[in-house]
Structure 1
Amino acid sequence: MRLRALLLVALMAGQAARAAQDPAQAALEAAQMLEQASIALTEAETARDRVRALTETIQAYEAGLAAMRDGLRRAALRESQLTAELNAREREIRQLLGVLQTIETTAPPVLMLHPAGPLGAARTGMMLSEVTPGLNTRAQALARDLDEVQTLRRLQQSAADTLTEGLEGVQNARTKLSEAIADRTDLPRRFIEDPVRTAILISSTETLDGFASGLSEISDGEIITSNADVSQLKGQIPLPTQGVILHRSGETDAAGVTRPGLVLGTRPRALVLSPTAATIRYRGPLLDLGNLVILEPQPGLLFVFSGLQEVYGDPGQVIPEGTPVGLMPGQTPEIGAILSTSGDGTGTDRPETLYIEVRENNSPVDPESWFRTDKDG
């Protein structure tokens, strides 16, 4: 399973590198990625670690759908470009086809006759021998362009079925992932949450600062000491989901609000993962932050991810790196919206926002001091 996920990532990287030169091939490879993701979903049913297997399957689907979207966008643009070029060269193409047809249908003896006699015929033959390769080259280029247009049109006509299957597959995988996480009993725990104490803490605090400082009060009993240490990863920790940075620490958003964390634009229903091994200190709704999860990678360090629609896991659990902790909100776009190129380049494919805040000893710090943000996905 893990090997297949790595192969899919490698395939996506290769597809992206070739997409600018061959959009049809890029879209076809994306379709293969979705097919492999479908196979991975079937195998995940019997995997020993179903959570990890389903997580990798969802990532494969998301990568395939993103690649398909990009490939189809490039295919549509390439088709429009070729069609415009062919329309602009319509007169030239007619003349070229006429010359080629004349040469092809005229008997060789007639071609050899010339009013100026043998010398004129020889000169004409020399001219034809020089012109004909050029005509053939132009004819071959025209044939390639026409064939590419037909290929691109066939590709787009068949894309709807592929996308439908991919969207159904990723939704199915997300449902199975929720079930697998709910059934999981193999994770160690550092504490058991007391719901009453948690409710009291929530009702008595008005800020994230106040809530974070009181996290030790929500346990039913003592919290087991942890010696976890991720300081060697500082500045290199991957973001919890693919996205583009909309606001950095200290920047003011459109509503005039300035926060110490960063805001990441994500696709609807994107999977959010724990970027390191960590303890879940809290998950659920809080203040005006919506659904959030608070992770503790090491004592005194908290990662806060808010803006989630669904949150996974239970407070007190110690989860491995790459464990799903939530899903972003939103609706999966319809097939027509995916195939459309009207919103390309506007960021409309990432309408959801994930807020990321990092706290050291209960004081917010710039998340980019811990997370690697040089590669937006």
Structure 2
Amino acid sequence: MIRAALLSLLLAGPAAAQDAGAAAAVRAAAEELERAQLRLERAEGAGDRVKALTATVRAFEAGLAGVRDSLRTASGREAQISRRLAAREGEVARLLGVLQTLSRAETPQQLLHPGGPMGAARAGMLVSAVTPALAEEAEVLRRDLEEAETIRALQRSAEARLTEGLAGVQAARAELSRAIADRTDLPKRFTEDPVKTAILIGASETLTAFASGLGNIPKGDEAPTDVDIRHLKGELALPVPGRILREAGEADAAGIERPGIVIETPPQALVTTPVPATLRYRGPLLDLGLVSILEPQPDLLFVFAGLGTVYGEIGEVMPQGAPVGLMDGQEPAPSPSGDGALSPASDTLYMEVREGQRPVDPLTWFATDKG
């Protein structure tokens, strides 16, 4: 299933893309899929399979985004041509009428003129002058109609590839979940105390209270760490592809201000850890949905809230790029018009960064173009 969908997206790249940027994105994603597939075939353990499948899912997501961009471009171009033809409908009808009249008239009849030979000569000169303009107009019309038909054919092909790609990414996500469940090779810094964690959840009314109390839960024989990632400040990649919907301190529709940022993501997008980090908590929390809290170094927490699926065990040290979870939502199947597949319903990830006991603007740690 994954290999078939991989080849489908690879073929869709040059056919579906109507602009250079989308075409390049699809080709790059297809190349990454091939590399990930090779790593998957050579994987010897669950850990290797998790890494390869993580790359596979990310490449599928990039490829699908590229195909959608191509379809959007093609749809926009088709709409532009349709509007132009509709605006010239009367002119085109008159042009076709003149061309049909000229094509039906017999040559001797065309040469007859009430004004005699001189009138016939003048008429012939007029027809000679008009004919190139008519031919040029007819050629423009022909090119527009041919382009519209070509775009429709490309859209049909790309929509078929998109359907296969969606099936492929779903299969890859399912395999990734199974591989994570089978993984036993991650080191653990500490063992969770579920009773104390449950008590803390029940006693916490805010994320701040929970995060503050999390560091006070005894962790037993915790392995020491001297990790320091301050030199990476401002350079970390976002944990999920998307755009910044709200920045830290920016009020939402209800007027609530939060110290974190909101990232708009595709449905079921894969969320990964930007640096090696210990998983301090995963699970439901307050009204934030499913939450993962990572500790890259002592007194530094990355909080990801609003996930649909969470991975890992509390206390595990997750390597950079390891899957943290999947966003919620559902990838729509392409509709006959293609509209739903072009702009699938998005989801949002809330991300907060805490240094010590206080939140800081996540964009001081993460590199982004801010939307």
TM range (shorter): 0.7 to 0.9
SS of the residue 2:313 aligns to: coil
Quote the residue 2:3 is aligned against: none
Q: Distance in 1 between matches of 2:159 and 2:131?
A: 43
Quote the residue 1:354 is aligned against: 349
Q: Distance in 2 between matches of 1:238 and 1:294?
A: 17
- For the structure 1 residues 211 and 99, does the alpha-carbon distance in structure 2 shift closer, same or farther, using more than 3 Å as the test? same
Determine if the alignment matches structure 1 residue 239 to structure 2 residue 234. Answer: no
Report which stretch shifted further, 213-222 or 28-37.
28-37
Q: Percent identity?
A: 51
Alignment of structure 1 residues 121-160 onto 2, 5 Å: 124=125, 128=128, 134-160=133-159
Alignment of structure 1 residues 164-313 onto 2, 5 Å: 164-218=163-217, 220-313=219-312
- For the structure 1 residues 15 and 88, does the alpha-carbon distance in structure 2 shift closer, same or farther, using more than 3 Å as the test? closer
Please state how far the C-alpha of 1:145 moved relative to its aligned partner.
Answer: 0.8
Report which stretch shifted further, 75-84 or 166-175.
75-84
Residue identity matched to 1:355 = Y
Residue identity matched to 1:349 = A
Query: In 1, are the aligned partners of 2:249 and 2:260 still within 8 Å (CA)?
Result: yes
Please state how far the C-alpha of 1:84 moved relative to its aligned partner.
Answer: 2.9
Residue identity matched to 2:199 = I
Report which stretch shifted further, 259-268 or 243-252.
243-252
Please state how far the C-alpha of 1:31 moved relative to its aligned partner.
Answer: 7.8
Quote the residue 1:63 is aligned against: 62
Q: Note the alpha carbon deviations across 1:300-320, whole angstroms, 9 max, x for none.
A: 111100111111111222222
Q: Distance in 2 between matches of 1:325 and 1:51?
A: 12
Determine if the alignment matches structure 1 residue 330 to structure 2 residue 329. Answer: yes
- For the structure 1 residues 236 and 61, does the alpha-carbon distance in structure 2 shift closer, same or farther, using more than 3 Å as the test? same
Determine if the alignment matches structure 1 residue 364 to structure 2 residue 365. Answer: no
Quote the residue 2:369 is aligned against: 374
Q: Note the alpha carbon deviations across 1:102-143, whole angstroms, 9 max, x for none.
A: 7778899999999657xx59x939x94x76655444333222
Query: In 1, are the aligned partners of 2:72 and 2:342 still within 8 Å (CA)?
Result: no
Structure 1: where are the runs of 5+ without partners?
20-25
Q: Note the alpha carbon deviations across 1:322-352, whole angstroms, 9 max, x for none.
A: 21101111122242298227997xxx732x2
- For the structure 1 residues 38 and 342, does the alpha-carbon distance in structure 2 shift closer, same or farther, using more than 3 Å as the test? closer
Q: Distance in 2 between matches of 1:375 and 1:252?
A: 16
Report which stretch shifted further, 48-57 or 303-312.
48-57
Query: In 2, are the aligned partners of 1:285 and 1:291 still within 8 Å (CA)?
Result: yes
Query: In 1, are the aligned partners of 2:288 and 2:305 still within 8 Å (CA)?
Result: yes
Q: Distance in 1 between matches of 2:159 and 2:111?
A: 56
Alignment of structure 1 residues 61-140 onto 2, 5 Å: 61-97=60-96, 124=125, 128=128, 134-140=133-139
Residue identity matched to 1:256 = G
SS of the residue 2:211 aligns to: helix
Query: In 2, are the aligned partners of 1:15 and 1:30 still within 8 Å (CA)?
Result: no
Structure 2: where are the runs of 5+ without partners?
1-5
TM-score, normalised via structure 2 length:
0.79
- For the structure 1 residues 133 and 33, does the alpha-carbon distance in structure 2 shift closer, same or farther, using more than 3 Å as the test? farther
Query: In 1, are the aligned partners of 2:232 and 2:365 still within 8 Å (CA)?
Result: yes
Query: In 2, are the aligned partners of 1:280 and 1:296 still within 8 Å (CA)?
Result: yes
Residue identity matched to 1:365 = V
- For the structure 1 residues 82 and 274, does the alpha-carbon distance in structure 2 shift closer, same or farther, using more than 3 Å as the test? same
Query: In 2, are the aligned partners of 1:238 and 1:373 still within 8 Å (CA)?
Result: yes
CA RMSD of aligned residues (A): 3.9
Quote the residue 1:22 is aligned against: none
Report which stretch shifted further, 251-260 or 38-47.
38-47
SS of the residue 2:335 aligns to: helix
- For the structure 1 residues 209 and 97, does the alpha-carbon distance in structure 2 shift closer, same or farther, using more than 3 Å as the test? closer
Quote the residue 1:23 is aligned against: none
Query: In 2, are the aligned partners of 1:69 and 1:339 still within 8 Å (CA)?
Result: no
SS of the residue 1:124 aligns to: helix
Q: Distance in 1 between matches of 2:165 and 2:208?
A: 42
SS of the residue 1:336 aligns to: coil
Query: In 2, are the aligned partners of 1:73 and 1:341 still within 8 Å (CA)?
Result: no
Q: Distance in 2 between matches of 1:174 and 1:281?
A: 24
Residue identity matched to 2:272 = L
